[in-house]
A and B are shown apart, each in its own frame.
Chain A
């Protein structure tokens, strides 16, 4: 086999490898990208049936209710961005840093009744931390301009009441 021919073969094999990789990546992308939404987005434009999304916002003060269903812990709470709020229900163990009035990101699907069924609740940082996506949500709703200074302390976030209460 000549050097040229071998080089061509290696090139073809590499292209095949990269091509497969690209194909796999593209096909997987369409199905498994998880978009980040705010409660307002979710209320205004519910995602196509049962699509996995990440919902970011603050846990609304006084909305957390614990219950035990069939021996399993079920917690329900509302996630708000100060404009709209969405009821969330979650079966499982909440992270130790889950607090009312603090930032939270929940991953899950919107159920037909308008309740967001969370499969995962992310609040795994220390109390001073604000998840990037929560910052984005606050900015998106115009509640906090990062250039204007530090975010309002978590205790006062609760005063960013929801002007328009949505059903659920």
Chain B
């Protein structure tokens, strides 16, 4: 009964979404006030319907209703309740439903917080969101319905992929989807603006919080995925340039460009067409990120196995979203009159440079990711493009980007001089160069480049704040008062830039990592990275549906025990799979990493790694997301907040 209700709610949501699209877009076109006023109600209705549908699927998973095919294929009754519920989105059909749910949340959020938007703009935004939702709900209903029943129901489900039974991976998809799907709102705003034929500073102010929120979630989601790959896959890498990783990086790159160019629209009413194009491109890349990988076109670790017909449906949907929006852009973009002239050397100029570099990086990553399927399709040639390609193309483009990142905020709007910027940044440049030289002498050029860039970004961000609060030029207490009075947006930008510096420092540290694979019998030891690693024991521990082997590995330095690690592996006979549980001891400066390999003749293969600064990679991402959050809290962007000027009238 519950699954049928879920199915009905899903169909209802699809109808509401279609209604939303037709009524609101027509209503806004004909300036029908009553139709336009329906926007929030329809958006809430769609959210309630999808919410009910999703709850029904989660319920079926929680009570292990194996007459639902989706549950029978991907769940089993002994699994902990937490993983039963998270298993709802651990498969293709469920993840599409989650995607639609997040989209409905976005639409309802526009309805809830958009009361200060012009009625026609709000109606159009919600209408466009409805059109996108209708397409994907139709897909969920027809091609990947999670509520299909099977008869007779099996006694036991086939169980979830053990690799997915991990807390980080359980929350990874929802966070990533909030990021991906969140970009649907800037996209809808862009389409609505093209339909209206008008973009002004207010538009920039409305779009930026949405873009920024999605960007924060996407940053956190990507970092979470990378962290999971580091500690769970047992290979010790944090980024594999896998197609799925790349397709989450692509919208992040263009999304980063978007949140910067939207500032220019807001402050200077310039770069309008470009910002609209970025919004369209970012959402298109998010869509292909979620679905291209799910369609089986890209060969990847992450791809769920899917039928080819579904792949075609997805491709058609992608085309239906992208082609009309790009056509509309081509037709209507010339209407958006540019305003606000600026010199090449100015804050706007720096942001244009940032956009060009980010989009160039996106272009090479895109090429490298899509070349293999195209080569297979056109030339029938099987090949793969690996990490060397991405490293050697992304790095040369990232260097000028990092260089410009600290200089940009030091330039003034409209027209800037290099000399004042130099006065603010000379010490940061000097310190970064010193760090680079020391690192080059101690290690190698690549690490030196990374550490210098990291120092440049972090110190540059500090210099920016120091300049704003006139540190050391006025009394300290006055500086502090200025700091408290700084707009949160300025602090957020500095924090986010410094966060990238922290991540780059972590990546540079990882270039100094070393690893060794050894075969040890209990009692034997090996010397590696300045530590003596001793395999103390090797035990078999039976679990509920798996057998695990746990090693006790002692790392000692100068005869003193530093850590005892317990790397393990779990073999799942039912699913025929195995999972590696790595053991990592971190002190935030260095990770001692161990993973257990095969066990033979009473001995074990062990992978040992010494990863300097590894935690900084994800720490930096958290700092970046935090910076985004701070900017978001800025009064200027707070949706619905009254403007500071003139808000209080003295009585």
Q: Which residue numbers of A lie inside 8 Å of B, CB to CB?
A: 1, 3, 6, 9-10, 13-14, 17-18, 20-21, 24-25, 27-29, 31-36, 52, 54, 66, 68, 71-73, 91-94, 96-97, 107, 124-129, 131-133, 136
**B575 touching A3, Cβ below 8 Å:** no
Q: Using Cβ atoms and an 8 Å threshold, which residues of chain A touch B517? A: 72-73, 91-93
A71-B519, A73-B517, A93-B517 known; A13 and B353 CB under 8 Å? Answer: yes
**B598 touching A94, Cβ below 8 Å:** yes
Q: In the bound complex, what is the Cα–Cα distance between A36 and B381 (angstroms)?
A: 8
**A36 touching B382, Cβ below 8 Å:** yes
Closest to B381 in A: A35
Q: Which residue numbers of B lie inside 8 Å of A, CB to CB?
A: 161, 234, 299, 301, 305, 338, 341-344, 352-353, 356-357, 359-361, 363-364, 367-368, 371, 381-386, 388-389, 392-393, 396-397, 516-520, 526, 569, 571, 575-580, 595, 597-598, 600, 603, 605, 607
Closest to B368 in A: A25
Of A36, A107, A128, A131, chain B has the most CB atoms within 10 Å of the CB of A36
Q: How far is the CB of A165 from chain B (nearest CB, A)?
A: 25
The SS class assigned to the A binding surface is: mixed
A93-B605, A94-B598 known; A72 and B381 CB under 8 Å? Answer: no
Top 6 nearest A-B pairs by Cβ distance?
Answer: A96-B578, A93-B597, A36-B382, A127-B576, A32-B388, A21-B360
Of A6, A35, A127, A128, chain B has the most CB atoms within 10 Å of the CB of A6
**A24 touching B397, Cβ below 8 Å:** yes
**A21 touching B397, Cβ below 8 Å:** yes
Among A6, A32, A35, A73, the residue within 8 A (CB) of B605 is A73
- What would 17 more interface pairs be, CB under 8 Å, given A28-B389, A96-B577? A13-B353, A17-B356, A20-B396, A20-B397, A25-B363, A31-B392, A36-B383, A68-B603, A72-B516, A91-B517, A93-B517, A93-B605, A96-B598, A127-B576, A128-B576, A131-B299, A133-B299
Q: In the bound complex, what is the Cα–Cα distance between A41 and B616 (angstroms)?
A: 44
**A36 touching B384, Cβ below 8 Å:** yes
Q: In the bound complex, what is the Cα–Cα distance between A24 and B357 (angstroms)?
A: 13
Q: Using Cβ atoms and an 8 Å threshold, which residues of chain B touch A71? A: 518-520, 526
Among B359, B384, B577, B578, the residue within 8 A (CB) of A17 is B359
Among A66, A96, A133, A136, the residue within 8 A (CB) of B580 is A96
Q: How far is the CB of B109 from chain A (nearest CB, A)?
A: 34
**A25 touching B364, Cβ below 8 Å:** yes
A21-B397, A24-B392, A126-B576 known; A96 and B383 CB under 8 Å? Answer: no
Q: How far is the CB of B365 from chain A (nearest CB, A)?
A: 10
**B526 touching A21, Cβ below 8 Å:** no
Q: Using Cβ atoms and an 8 Å threshold, which residues of chain B touch A93? A: 234, 517, 595, 597-598, 605, 607
**B352 touching A10, Cβ below 8 Å:** yes
Closest to A27 in B: B392
A24-B397, A93-B605 known; A35 and B367 CB under 8 Å? Answer: no
**A18 touching B388, Cβ below 8 Å:** no
**A126 touching B518, Cβ below 8 Å:** no
Q: Using Cβ atoms and an 8 Å threshold, which residues of chain A touch B396? A: 20, 24
Q: Using Cβ atoms and an 8 Å threshold, which residues of chain A touch B299? A: 131-133
**A3 touching B381, Cβ below 8 Å:** no
Q: How far is the CB of A99 from chain B (nearest CB, A)?
A: 9
A21-B363, A73-B597 known; A33 and B341 CB under 8 Å? Answer: no
Give 29 CB contacts A-B under 8 Å.
A1-B341, A6-B341, A17-B356, A17-B359, A17-B360, A18-B360, A20-B396, A21-B363, A21-B364, A24-B393, A24-B396, A25-B367, A29-B371, A29-B385, A32-B389, A33-B384, A34-B385, A71-B520, A73-B517, A92-B597, A93-B517, A96-B579, A96-B580, A97-B578, A126-B161, A126-B575, A126-B577, A131-B299, A132-B299
A17-B356, A20-B397, A21-B393 known; A34 and B519 CB under 8 Å? Answer: no
Closest to A67 in B: B519
Closest to A52 in B: B386
**A28 touching B388, Cβ below 8 Å:** yes
Among A6, A68, A94, A129, the residue within 8 A (CB) of B342 is A6
Q: How far is the CB of A41 from chain B (nearest CB, A)?
A: 10
Q: Using Cβ atoms and an 8 Å threshold, which residues of chain A touch B526? A: 71
Q: In the bound complex, what is the Cα–Cα distance between A96 and B353 (angstroms)?
A: 47
Q: Using Cβ atoms and an 8 Å threshold, which residues of chain B touch A34? A: 383-386
Q: In the bound complex, what is the Cα–Cα distance between A54 and B607 (angstroms)?
A: 23
Q: In the bound complex, what is the Cα–Cα distance between A93 and B516 (angstroms)?
A: 10
**B352 touching A13, Cβ below 8 Å:** yes
Closest to B299 in A: A132
A20-B360, A35-B381 known; A1 and B598 CB under 8 Å? Answer: no
Q: In the bound complex, what is the Cα–Cα distance between A92 and B595 (angstroms)?
A: 12
**B363 touching A18, Cβ below 8 Å:** yes
Q: How far is the CB of A24 from chain B (nearest CB, A)?
A: 4
**A72 touching B363, Cβ below 8 Å:** no
Closest to B393 in A: A24
Q: Using Cβ atoms and an 8 Å threshold, which residues of chain B touch A94? A: 597-598
A25-B364, A92-B517 known; A35 and B356 CB under 8 Å? Answer: no
Closest to B359 in A: A17
Q: Using Cβ atoms and an 8 Å threshold, which residues of chain B touch A54? A: 384
**A129 touching B305, Cβ below 8 Å:** yes
Q: In the bound complex, what is the Cα–Cα distance between A124 and B163 (angstroms)?
A: 10
Q: In the bound complex, what is the Cα–Cα distance between A21 and B569 (angstroms)?
A: 43
Among B360, B363, B388, the residue within 8 A (CB) of A31 is B388
Q: How far is the CB of A90 from chain B (nearest CB, A)?
A: 10
**A3 touching B519, Cβ below 8 Å:** no
Q: Using Cβ atoms and an 8 Å threshold, which residues of chain A touch B569? A: 96
Among A14, A91, A96, A124, the residue within 8 A (CB) of B571 is A96
Q: How far is the CB of B378 from chain A (nearest CB, A)?
A: 15
**A25 touching B393, Cβ below 8 Å:** yes
Q: In the bound complex, what is the Cα–Cα distance between A10 and B343 (angstroms)?
A: 11
**B386 touching A136, Cβ below 8 Å:** no
**B301 touching A33, Cβ below 8 Å:** no
Among A33, A97, A127, the residue within 8 A (CB) of B383 is A33
Q: Using Cβ atoms and an 8 Å threshold, which residues of chain B touch A126? A: 161, 575-577
Q: How far is the CB of B97 from chain A (nearest CB, A)?
A: 23
Q: Using Cβ atoms and an 8 Å threshold, which residues of chain A touch B571? A: 96
**B363 touching A73, Cβ below 8 Å:** no
Q: Using Cβ atoms and an 8 Å threshold, which residues of chain A touch B343? A: 1
Closest to A1 in B: B343
Q: Using Cβ atoms and an 8 Å threshold, which residues of chain B touch A32? A: 385-386, 388-389, 392
**B577 touching A97, Cβ below 8 Å:** yes
Closest to B521 in A: A68
Q: In the bound complex, what is the Cα–Cα distance between A35 and B352 (angstroms)?
A: 38
Q: In the bound complex, what is the Cα–Cα distance between A132 and B372 (angstroms)?
A: 12
**A133 touching B341, Cβ below 8 Å:** no
Q: How far is the CB of A20 from chain B (nearest CB, A)?
A: 7
Q: In the bound complex, what is the Cα–Cα distance between A52 and B387 (angstroms)?
A: 12
